C-alpha cells in the first residue's frame, strides 16, 4: 500500500467524521414503562369452577412471569410462574411480566373453587345501581358486569336489586326507572337468565314508592308499600322498606318471622331479608345505619340473614359481615364504593375523600349445612372517583381488567336444625374479631423527588388480611417541630380495594387546601431540609404495627445507580478515546480492537460523556439515566470489533528472517522511503533487486500497520496476504537458500507488548495512537479518521503506481 493511498483514506475518513459530528447525539434511552410490556395472558377466565384448577400464564419472549395467590400485586420477589399453577381453593391469582428494567400491568383472575355439590338455591344481591341514563359508560359497563356474573352464576334463582335504582329523589324523576328496567331486561335476555327472578327494594334515591312501583312489572316490585314476602329457590325471602319503617310493617314482619320459626317445616331454614339501609351496630360497626326498630324485630330470629346497601361501604373490608343475634351482610354498591374518610393521592397532593372507584356485589349459594357468600369485583382497577381538579370521573372505560376478581375470601355461615343451633355456630362475632397487627417488611420506605415534589414510596406492611391505612408524622430534624403536613390522626388510604392490592404506595408529601379534592396545595416540605418520618400501619379492626421511623432530605436525589453504570462504562469509553487518538498513551490491549465506524464511535463516546455529567432533576430521571448510560455504553462497546494481528506478525517475522534481519535497522519512515525509491529505479522485470525492493516496501508498510491503532481485520488480512506474496516472489526471484518460507516463526511483530522484539522507537507511554513516530502525522490523521479500507490489491513491479 502506498503512502498516497494511506493519505487518501485518512482525508476521506476525516471528512466523514466531520460530517457526522454535525448531527446531534442520539437521545438517551428511557426506562421501560408498563405499556411497553404486554400483560401476561391467562389460560383461565375469572369464574366458578368445580375442584382444583390449573392456570398457565404466558408473556412476551424474554419476560419472566411472577405471581401471587393472595390478591396482592406481584413483585420481583414473588414466585416464578414457570409452568401450570394449581389453584386448589378460592383465590385471586395475579401475574406480572418482568424484564430487566420494567414490568407489565397485572393480569388478575378470580377463581372460585366449589365442590361438585349443587346448591339448593343461588342468588345475587346488588345495590345502588344509580342508573339514570341510557347511554355512556354508566350504561355500557353493565354488559361487562353481567358477563362477569354469568361466569359465576350462569342461571341464578334470583337477582335482588336492593334500593337506589336511580340517581335522584327529587320526587319528579320516577320515569328514570325505565333505564334500570331496560338494562336488566336486555342483559337478562342476552345472558340467557330469562328464568331468573328479579326482586327490588325501595331506596332513598328512588322517588316515591308508589311512583317506583308503576315503573316495574308487579312480579319485580309488588304492591305500593315497598315491603313484601317472596321466596328464592324454596327459601323464605322478605323485602322491607327501610325508608318508611313503621308499626304496621314491623308487626307484619315480626309475625311472619315468628310463624316460620315455629313451623317444624321451616324452623331450620335460613330466612333472607333485604332492605336498603344497614342496621345500627352491625356491618361496618353501624356506619350510615338507621331503623333501630328493624334490629329489634330481627334479633329474635338467628336464622335471618339481612342484606343491605345504601352506605356504598366496600365489601373488601371484613366488617361487611356481622353476627350477633342474626347475620347482617353489606353487599356493597354497583356504582361506586366508599371507605372511611381517608387521605388519598389526587395527583401531586393528598386530599381527604371517602369514595373509591369500585363496583361490588355478593353471590349467595345455599347448601344443606351452610350458606356461602362470595364477594365479587365488577370493577376494581386503580384510579380515583375524582380527577385532580375535582371533577367527578368514575369507571369511564369499561370493560375493566379487574372484573371477576374477588373482593375477599368466601364468607361461610353454618346452618343449624333450629334457630338456637344456628346461633351457636356464629363465627363473625365481636368476640372473634381479628386481633393480628400489621408488620413491616424488610424493604425500607424512601422519599423520591418528582416533578411535583417529594413522594413517599412505601412498601406496604403485611397483614393476615391487609393493611388498610397509615398514619404519618413528619418532624423537622433541626427544630424538632412536627410539620402540618398530615394531622396526627389523619389516615392515608392503602388502596386496599384495588385488585390487585398494590405492593408499593406512592404518597405525595403535599396536602391540598382544606384537605379537599380539587383545591390547590397549601402544605408541603422545604426542599433541602432534613426530616424524620414516622409511619404506623393499621388494619380495618384498629390493630396497628410498630412504628417505623426514618430520615430523609426533601428533594435529595439518589444517583448511585447512575454512578455505578458510569463507572462500569468508563473503561469502554476510555478505550474508544485512545483508539481514536483523543487520549494517550495507548495500551497494548487497544491493538486487539478496531472501530466499526469511527465517526459513530466518537459521537457515542461524546454522548456517553454528556450522560455521565448530566444532573437529573428527579429520582425517576436519575433511575432512567442509569439505563441510558448502560444503553449508550452497550452501543459504544458494539463499535469495538476484535481483530487478530497474529497472522500479520507471523508474516512480518518470516520476511525479517528471510532478509536476514536487515530490515530492522532503519526507522520505519526512512525504510519506506528508501524501499520506494529503490523500487522506482529497479528494472521492471522480475529481477532479484526489484523483488527485494518490493519485499522491503511491503515489510515496512506492514510493520507500520502493525504499530497503528484502529485497523480493521480486512486491512490486516490484506497486508498479510501482500507481504506473504512479496516474500514468495522475492524467494522465487533469488532462488533457493534465501531464508525460511512464508510460514516461518515470526521474529517480531513491530508492536512492543504484543510479541517479538520490534524496532519502534519510544514506548507505549509515549506513543498515543501510533507506536513510534516513523509514520508521522499522516498516519496519525488516518488513525483518527477511523476505519482502514485496505481492500485494493497492491501494485507489483511493473504495474502502475
Tell me the pLDDT of the chain averaged across its residues.
87
Instruction: Return d(Cα 739, Cα 9) in angstroms, integer.
Output: 35
C-alpha cell at 59: 408473556
Those residues whose C-beta lies under 8 Å from the C-beta of residue 645, and which sit 6 or more positions away, are 591, 592, 706, 716, 749, 751, 754
Q: Tell whether the model's pLDDT for residue 435 goes beyond 90.
A: yes
Q: What is the pLDDT of residue 5?
A: 34
**406 confidence band (pLDDT: 50, 70, 90):** very high
pLDDT at 520 over 70: yes
Q: Residues 736, 740, 743, 749: what is their CA dihedral angle, to the nearest 10 degrees?
A: -140
Closest of 611, 572, 570 to residue 595, by C-alpha: 572
pLDDT over threshold 50, residue 755: no
Task: Please tell me the distance from the alpha carbon of residue 300 to that of residue 296, in angstroms, as a whole number.
Answer: 8
Q: Left (φ > 0), alpha (ψ -120 to 50) or beta: where does 555 sit?
A: left
At residue 499, does pLDDT exceed 60? yes
Fold agreement (34-113, 446-553): yes
Closest CA to 190 of 222, 149, 249, 242: 149
User: pLDDT at residue 4 above 60?
Assistant: no
Share of the chain above pLDDT 70, in %: 84
Task: Read off the pLDDT band of 16 (50, 70, 90).
Answer: very low
Mean pLDDT of 382-392: 94
Reported confidence tier of residue 447, pLDDT bands at 50, 70, 90: very high
Strands (E), 178-234: 197-201, 228-232
What does the buried/exposed string (b/e) look like for 257-283 if buried means 16 or more CB atoms within 10 Å of the residue's CB? beebbeeeeebbbbbbbbbbbbbeebb
- The strand pairing partners of 206, in sequence order, are none
pLDDT tier at 36, thresholds 50, 70, 90: confident
> Do residues 310 and 163 make contact, with C-beta atoms less than 8 angstroms apart?
yes
Which pairing describes strands 304-308 and 327-330: parallel, antiparallel, or unpaired?
Answer: parallel
How many of the other CB atoms lie within 10 Å of CB of 79? 12
Looking at the predicted structure, is the pLDDT value of residue 400 above 60? yes
The pLDDT tens digits for 184-219 are: 999 999 999 999 999 999 999 999 999 999 999 999
How confident is the model over 681-686, as a mean pLDDT? 54
Instruction: Report domain extents, the chain.
Output: 3-19+643-785, 34-113, 117-432, 446-553
Is 17 a residue whose pLDDT tops 70? Answer: no
Tell me the CB-side half-sphere exposure of residue 190, using CA atoms within 13 A: 15
Asked if the bond preceding 112 is cis, omega within 30° of 0, the reply is no
- pLDDT at 397 > cutoff 60: yes
Q: What is the pLDDT of residue 714?
A: 96
pLDDT at 704: 95
SS3 sequence of 520-587: CEEECCCCCCEEEEEEEEECCCCCECCCEEEEEECCCCCCHHHHHHHHHHHHHHHHHHHHHCCCCCCC
Segment 52-80 mean pLDDT: 97
C-alpha cell of residue 369: 349445612
Burial class for 441, CB neighbours closer than 10 Å (0-12, 13-18, 19+)? exposed
Model confidence at 488, pLDDT cuts 50, 70, 90, reads: confident
The pTM of the full predicted model, rounded to 2 decimals, is: 0.82
Residue 792 has pLDDT above 70, yes or no: no
Asked whether the predicted pLDDT for residue 14 surpasses 50, the reply is: no
User: CA quadruple 600, 602, 607, 609: dihedral positive or negative?
Assistant: positive
CA atoms of 257 and 227, how far apart (whole Å): 14
688-716 per-position pLDDT tens digit: 999 999 999 999 999 999 999 999 999 99
7-29 residues labelled b (16+ CB within 10 A) or e (exposed): eebbeebbebbeeeeeeebeebb
Exposed / middle / buried, residue 706 (Cβ in 10 Å: 0-12, 13-18, 19+): buried
pLDDT (0 to 100) of residue 489: 86
Between 128-132, 351-355, 373-377, 766-770, the lowest mean confidence (pLDDT) is in 766-770
* Architecture per CATH, 34-113: Sandwich (2.60)
Dist CA 482 CA 488 (whole Å): 9
Mean pLDDT of 367-375: 98
Whether residue 771 contacts residue 706, with contact meaning beta carbons closer than 8 Å, is answered with no
Domain 117-432, CATH among 3.60.21.10, 3.40.50.150, 3.40.50.10440, 3.40.190.10 = 3.60.21.10
780 has a pLDDT exceeding 60: no
Using the predicted structure, report yes or no on whether residue 128 has a pLDDT greater than 70: yes
CA 530, CA 477: separation in Å to the nearest integer?
Answer: 6
Q: Other C-beta atoms within 10 Å of 728: how many? A: 14
pLDDT per residue as tens digits for the range 561-578: 999 999 999 999 999 999
Q: Say how far apart CA 249 and CA 229 lie, in whole Å.
A: 12
Identify the band that residue 674 occupies on the pLDDT scale cut at 50, 70 and 90.
Answer: low
> How many angstroms separate the CA atoms of 502 and 506, rounded?
10
- What own/partner pairs with CB < 8 Å and gap ≥ 24 does 389-392 have? 389/518, 390/516, 390/517, 390/518, 390/519, 391/518
> pLDDT band for position 738 (50/70/90)?
low
- Over 80: is that where the pLDDT of 340 sits? yes
CB atoms within 10 A of CB 461: 23
Helix segments in 617-712, DSSP class H: 619-638, 646-658, 668-681, 688-706
Q: What is the pLDDT of residues 144-173, one digit of tens each?
A: 999 999 999 999 999 999 999 999 888 899
CATH number belonging to the domain at 446-553, selected among 3.40.50.300, 3.40.190.10, 2.30.30.100, 2.60.40.10: 2.60.40.10
Distance in angstroms between the alpha carbons of the first and the last residue of the chain? 10
Cell of 2: 502506498
Question: How far is residue 257 from each of residues 54, 240, 424, measured CA to CA in Å?
Answer: 45, 13, 19
Query: What confidence tens digit (pLDDT) does each residue in 284-331 have?
Result: 999 999 999 999 999 999 999 999 999 999 999 999 999 999 999 999
pLDDT value of position 497 = 98
Query: Residue 547: is its pLDDT beyond 60?
Result: yes
Would you tell me the crossing angle of helices 598-613 and 619-638 to the nearest 10 degrees?
Answer: 160
Torsion angle (degrees, nearest 10) of CA 672, 677, 678, 679:
90
Pairing of strands 107-114, 47-50: parallel
Rounded Cα–Cα distance for residues 200 and 161 (Å):
5
Residue 28: all three cell numbers together: 438517551
DSSP string, 730-774: HHHHH-SSS---TTSPPSEEEETTTEE----SS-HHHHTTBSSSS
Amino acid at each position: 500500500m502506498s503512502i498516497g493511498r494511506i493519505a487518501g483514506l485518512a482525508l476521506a475518513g476525516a471528512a466523514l467524521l466531520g460530517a457526522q459530528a454535525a448531527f446531534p447525539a442520539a437521545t438517551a434511552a428511557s426506562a421501560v414503562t408498563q405499556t411497553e410490556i404486554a400483560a401476561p395472558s391467562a389460560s383461565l377466565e375469572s369464574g366458578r369452577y368445580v375442584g382444583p384448577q390449573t392456570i398457565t400464564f404466558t408473556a412476551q419472549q424474554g419476560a419472566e412471569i411472577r405471581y401471587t395467590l393472595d390478591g396482592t400485586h406481584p413483585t420481583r420477589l414473588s414466585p416464578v410462574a414457570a409452568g401450570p399453577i394449581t389453584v386448589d381453593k378460592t383465590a385471586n391469582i395475579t401475574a406480572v411480566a418482568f424484564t430487566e428494567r420494567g414490568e407489565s400491568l397485572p393480569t388478575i383472575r378470580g377463581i372460585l373453587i366449589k365442590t361438585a355439590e349443587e346448591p339448593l338455591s343461588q342468588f345475587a344481591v346488588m345495590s345502588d345501581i344509580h342508573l339514570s341514563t341510557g347511554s355512556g359508560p354508566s350504561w355500557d359497563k353493565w354488559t361487562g358486569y353481567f358477563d362477569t356474573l354469568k361466569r359465576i352464576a350462569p342461571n341464578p334463582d334470583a337477582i335482588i336489586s336492593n334500593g337506589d335504582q336511580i340517581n335522584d329523589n327529587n320526587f319528579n324523576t320516577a320515569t328514570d326507572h325505565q333505564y334500570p328496567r331496560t338494562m336488566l331486561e336486555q342483559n337478562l335476555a342476552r345472558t340467557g337468565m330469562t328464568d331468573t327472578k328479579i326482586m327490588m327494594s325501595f331506596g332513598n334515591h328512588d322517588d316515591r314508592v308508589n311512583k317506583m312501583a308503576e315503573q316495574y312489572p308487579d312480579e319485580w316490585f309488588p304492591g305500593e308499600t315497598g315491603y313484601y314476602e317472596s321466596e328464592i329457590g324454596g327459601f323464605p325471602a322478605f323485602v322491607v322498606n327501610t325508608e318508611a319503617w313503621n308499626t304496621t310493617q314491623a308487626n307484619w314482619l315480626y309475625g311472619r318471622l315468628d310463624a316460620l320459626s315455629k313451623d317444624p317445616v321451616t324452623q331450620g331454614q335460613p330466612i333472607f331479608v333485604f332492605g336498603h339501609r344497614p342496621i345500627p351496630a352491625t356491618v361496618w360497626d353501624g356506619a350510615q345505619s338507621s331503623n333501630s326498630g328493624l334490629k329489634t324485630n330481627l334479633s329474635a330470629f338467628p336464622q335471618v340473614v339481612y342484606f343491605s346497601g345504601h352506605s356504598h361501604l366496600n365489601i373488601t373490608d371484613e366488617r361487611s359481615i356481622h353476627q350477633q343475634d342474626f347475620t347482617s351482610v353489606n353487599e356493597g354498591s354497583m356504582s361506586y364504593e366508599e371507605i372511611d374518610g381517608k387521605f388519598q393521592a389526587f395527583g401531586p397532593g393528598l386530599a381527604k375523600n371517602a369514595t373509591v372507584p369500585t363496583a361490588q356485589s355478593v353471590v349467595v349459594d345455599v347448601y344443606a349445612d351452610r350458606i356461602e357468600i362470595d364477594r365479587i369485583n365488577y370493577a376494581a382497577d386503580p384510579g380515583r372517583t375524582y380527577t385532580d381538579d375535582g371533577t367527578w370521573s368514575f369507571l369511564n372505560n369499561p370493560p375493566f381488567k379487574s372484573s371477576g376478581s374477588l373482593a375477599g375470601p368466601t364468607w361461610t355461615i353454618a346452618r343449624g336444625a333450629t334457630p338456637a343451633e344456628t346461633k351457636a355456630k356464629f363465627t363473625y362475632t365481636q368476640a372473634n374479631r381479628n386481633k393480628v397487627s400489621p408488620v413491616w417488611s424488610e424493604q425500607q420506605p424512601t422519599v423520591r423527588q418528582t416533578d411535583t415534589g417529594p413522594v413517599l414510596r412505601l412498601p406496604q406492611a403485611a397483614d393476615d388480611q391487609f393493611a388498610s391505612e397509615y398514619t404519618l408524622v413528619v418532624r423537622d430534624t433541626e427544630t424538632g417541630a412536627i410539620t402540618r403536613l398530615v394531622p396526627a390522626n389523619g389516615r392515608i388510604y392503602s388502596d386496599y380495594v384495588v385488585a390487585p392490592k398494590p405492593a408499593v404506595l406512592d404518597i405525595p408529601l403535599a396536602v391540598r387546601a382544606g384537605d379537599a379534592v380539587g383545591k390547590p396545595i397549601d402544605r408541603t416540605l422545604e426542599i433541602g431540609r432534613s426530616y424524620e418520618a414516622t409511619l404506623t400501619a393499621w388494619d380495618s379492626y384498629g390493630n396497628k404495627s410498630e412504628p417505623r421511623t426514618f430520615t430523609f432530605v426533601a428533594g435529595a436525589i439518589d444517583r448511585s445507580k447512575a454512578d455505578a453504570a458510569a463507572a462500569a462504562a468508563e473503561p469502554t469509553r476510555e478505550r474508544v478515546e485512545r483508539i481514536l487518538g483523543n487520549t494517550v498513551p495507548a495500551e497494548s490491549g487497544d491493538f486487539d480492537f478496531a472501530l466499526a465506524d469511527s465517526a459513530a464511535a466518537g459521537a457515542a463516546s461524546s454522548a456517553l460523556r454528556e450522560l455521565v455529567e448530566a444532573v437529573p432533576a428527579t429520582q425517576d430521571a436519575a433511575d432512567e439515566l442509569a439505563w441510558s448510560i448502560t444503553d449508550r455504553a452497550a452501543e459504544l462497546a458494539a463499535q469495538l470489533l476484535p481483530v487478530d494481528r497474529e497472522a500479520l506478525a507471523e508474516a512480518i517475522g518470516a520476511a525479517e528472517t528471510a532478509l536476514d534481519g536487515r530490515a530492522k535497522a532503519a526507522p520505519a519512515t526512512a525504510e519506506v522511503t528508501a524501499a520506494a525509491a529503490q523500487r522506482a529505479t529497479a528494472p521492471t522485470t522480475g529481477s532479484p533487486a526489484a523483488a527485494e525492493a518490493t519485499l522491503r516496501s511491503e515489510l515496512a508498510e506492514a510493520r507500520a500497520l502493525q504499530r497503528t491503532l484502529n485497523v480493521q481485520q480486512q486491512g490486516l488480512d490484506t497486508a498479510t496476504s501482500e507481504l506473504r506474496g512479496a516474500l514468495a516472489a522475492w524467494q522465487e526471484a533469488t532462488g533457493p537458500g534465501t531464508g525460511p518460507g512464508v510460514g516461518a516463526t515470526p521474529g517480531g511483530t513491530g508492536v512492543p507488548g504484543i510479541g517479538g522484539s520490534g524496532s519502534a522507537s519510544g514506548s507505549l507511554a509515549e506513543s498515543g495512537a501510533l507506536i513510534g513516530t516513523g509514520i508521522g502525522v499522516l498516519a496519525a490523521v488516518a488513525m483518527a479518521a477511523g476505519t482502514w479500507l485496505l481492500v485494493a490489491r497492491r501494485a507489483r513491479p511493473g504495474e502502475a503506481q
